[in-house]
Chains A and B, each alone.
Chain A
Amino acid sequence: MSAPLEVAVHCRGLTHRFSGKAAVLGLDLCVRRGEVFGLLGPNGAGKTTTIRLVNTLLPVQEGKVEVFGYDVSRSAMAVRRLMGYVPQMLSIEAALTGRENVMWFARLFDIPRRERKARVDQALEVMGLADAADRLAGTYSGGMVRRLELAQALVNRPELLVLDEPTVGLDPVARDGVWERVEEMRRATGMTVLLTTHYMEEADVLCDRVALMHLGQKRAEGPPSALKAQVGPAASLEDVFRHFTGGTLGQDESKGGLREVRGTRRTASRLG
């Protein structure tokens, strides 16, 4: 372990290639303990690949990633114990009840039997799902599904919560409901949150700091207010992005694999 404990996630010289093509190129990133950190950029910018390198889904090819001082290549299990993860796509088991979905993950995270039921009840209650806990998850609305996923991710009391496009496909009310709960959890517990989004206005409000990614590289990093100040007095984060990359979020249509786009659409469609 080498990174100081104030650092939650530390990436150095991170490069990842798919069939020789770089998805992430020489990325240096430092997420501080307790902050909400946003990775921003359009489809194909390398956000999800970065998240997958941090959460041990992808092997590190070049460079180094540490999570709370643990090298993800050498201590993947230790890293996973510290992490809660909500992927971009809907990831609940619709044929189980809400409670069974959360209990499943409580067991996989080795929560002791004597604490398990209380922790599951607590997670469901915090996410406002106590009344619906014994209904099949397939009957939940889009916002409820996302909150159920958060309950699954939080039942382990993670030090780091990783959210990959968590509000994609949600209506504004459900989106606010998700962020309110994430923000309250963060304030109450000091948990670190690493998220990806291409909704700039969300990132502006929620994130303590952001990194703008484009074509696998980090183009800018800092608090949203500081980045906006660099560009102009009335600048938005989208202006900042345009300033540092010369493009807009929706511009690069060649990026984002078919599976990614199809998955996003499927998620949006299932969320209604």
Chain B
Amino acid sequence: MKSVALAAPPAGSAEATAAANRPKPPGLAGYPRKVGTFCLVELQKLSHDRTELFTRAVQPVLWMVIYGETFTRTHAIPTGHLAYLAFLAPGIVAQSGLFVAIFYGIQIIWERDAGILTKLLVTPTPRSALIVGKAFSAGVRALAQVVVVLALSAVLGVALDLNVLHLLGSFVMVMLGSAFFACLSMTVAGVVMKRDRLMGIGQLMTMPLFFASNALYPVAIMPAWLRALSRCNPLSYEVEALRDLLVGTPANLGLDFGVMALAVVAGVTAASSLVGRLAR
């Protein structure tokens, strides 16, 4: 074993005063770096095991190829001048992010059970940075799915808007959407504390969020009560913005991004306040 200084200087030395010999804490500047660290770790994990990219792609492919193609032919859902497949594609993009993110609560409980979470909570990382990091990690993972869905849409003949700014905007929206749903999941994890329970609740949350949104059909054809629910559902704002950015359906982008940003702030606040419970 090499003799190197891996720990504190010897007791009694001039350098031994506890924190005095340490680099100055980075303050606020360190916050985005820590968030970025969690996203980087997610990318590293993905790079080591790419099978998940393919297995997770199966579900959106089924929605696009089977459901989308069928309903495009039947013209059962009125989407104006837009082909149903083009209407559906942004919804499936948002759905992919939702399905990735909603199980992040299970991941954080697994990390608690494996001792990883407790170790992370003992680093000088603010709890909110840990949550934001994990939330945007979900976004990173979701983006990988989005690329698959967009490529498939192009193959199926959907005329996507390839304007770089629009694509970037849609990526930002997917990140926001995934971050919110990951926070929602981690908040529930902080309440229920157990993987088994969260799996059930995850299923219970996912389908109502998906069906009570404009992902599969326009708000105009919904009954009034469902329309009201849809307006309270962040997924609807995500889909609306994605439709504007990717296939040119007009939307109020300011409102959509504003609602999603607020939803993320609320989600981070709720999940951060509960994450400590998981380590107790």
Contacts and interface: CB of A to CB of B under 8 A. Distances in A.
Nearest to B119: A91
Contact of B119 (A85, A190, A191, A266): A85
A253 interface: no
B130 to A, nearest CB: 9
Interface string B176-212: 0000000000000000000000000000000000000
A110 B116 contact: no
Counting contact residues on chain A (CB < 8 A from B), the size range is 35 or more
A55 B115 CA distance: 14
A232 interface: no
B48 A108 contact: no
Q: Which of A77, A136, A188, A266: most chain B Cβ within 10 A?
A: A188
Contacts of A266: 113
B163 to A, nearest CB: 35
A185 B19 contact: no
Interface in A213-271: 259, 263, 266-267
A190 B8 contact: yes
B11 A188 contact: no
Nearest to A1: B18
A127 B257 CA distance: 48
Nearest to B5: A189
B34 A107 contact: yes
A37 interface: no
Nearest to A34: B11
A188 B115 contact: no
Main secondary structure of the interface of B (DSSP, over half): loop
B125 A108 contact: yes
Contact of A190 (B9, B19, B115): B9
A64 interface: no
A46 B72 CA distance: 64
Given A80-B124, A190-B8, A190-B10, A58 B280 contact: yes
A37 B113 CA distance: 27
Interface string B218-246: 00000000000000000000000000000
Given A70-B18, A157-B6, A188-B5, A100 B119 contact: no
Contacts of A86: 119
A57 B6 contact: no
Contact of B48 (A34, A95, A123): A95
B37 A104 contact: yes
